[in-house]
Amino acid sequence: MSSPIAPAAAAPEEKLVFVSSCKLPMPWATFELHAFYDEVSGKEHLALTLGDVGNGEPVLGRVHSECLTGDALFSQRCDCGAQLEAALKKIAKEGRGVLFYLRQEGRGIGLLNKIRAYHLQDQGADTVEANERLGFPADMRRYTIVLPMLAHLKITSLRLMTNNPRKVKALEDSGITVAERIALIANHNPFNIGYLGTKARKLGHLLPGLAKTEEKPEKVPLDAHDNE
């Protein structure tokens, strides 16, 4: 396996600029899509809003980090795609909310390194061990990038959909007001149950009943989907 590619060094601060917005019809509602560009990292970040989010009341929201394999390719190795859909459905049901889509693939290590980490997981490492073997921390994400997006949208506080208390603390440490934490539990499957157990056990995620499950390298039978 080739050497990991180092992500760009974290800049001391971001320089985010608003680019444009448009209507985005989705299966659950027509959202407003807002595009931002970070002039420091060169990355694009997105926000999806529904309803009047700038009226001063806490906004139902999710801060979602990009997961191409889960969000776009329907991978069942993680719960990212399921959480993304669940969050958008909750916002649509409430009629008001925001979802921030941050380009922080693989908890910040990038897509190619995430695939390298998956290779190590196939050999028996768990999601945390795989990152560490590649020379990265378990989680490299930064949340200060959300601040200028919140300011642009005139959002003052979030009712945050997450199972991760560390994300709540990281957002608050970045200066973001979290008025409430709302659980966002996605169904587990034979491919991700061990991964979710590692997130509960090592990363502090609040996932009832999963902390004792472990990631294992053995293959899941091809008919594992039949009983879902």
Q: Which residues of 130-169 are buried (b: 16+ CB within 10 A; e: fewer)?
A: bbeebebebbbbbbbbbbbbbebbebbbbbbbbbbeebbe
pLDDT value of residue 85: 94
Position 218 confidence tier, pLDDT thresholds 50, 70, 90: very low
Band of the pLDDT at 160, cuts 50, 70, 90? very high
In this prediction, residues 130-138 reach a mean pLDDT of: 87
Mean pLDDT, residues 88-99: 97
pLDDT at residue 72 in the model: 94
Confidence of residue 210 (pLDDT cuts 50, 70, 90): low
CB 134 within 8 A of CB 113: yes
136-159 pLDDT per residue, tens: 888 888 888 899 999 999 999 999
Higher pLDDT, 105 or 33: 33
pTM of the model: 0.81
The answer, yes or no, to whether residue 52 has pLDDT greater than 80, is: yes
Average pLDDT value over all residues in the chain = 83
Distance CA 172, CA 143 (A): 9
Four-CA torsion 162, 145, 81, 53, nearest 10 degrees:
70
At 86 the pLDDT is 94
Could you tell me the pLDDT band of residue 195, with boundaries at 50, 70 and 90?
low
- Short-list 43, 36, 60, CA closest to 8: 43
Catalytic residue among 71, 79, 126, 139: 139
Higher pLDDT, 140 or 210: 140
Q: Report which of residues 156 and 212 the model is more confident about.
A: 156
Tell me the range of 32-36, 115-119, 127-131, 163-167 where mean pLDDT is highest: 32-36
- pLDDT value at residue 112: 92
Is 139 considered catalytic here? yes
**Which domains can be identified in the chain, with CATH numbers?**
17-103+143-214 (3.40.50.10990), 105-140 (no CATH)
Residue % of the chain over a pLDDT of 70: 79
Exactly one of 133, 141, 159, 201 is catalytic; which is it?
141
pLDDT at 207: 60
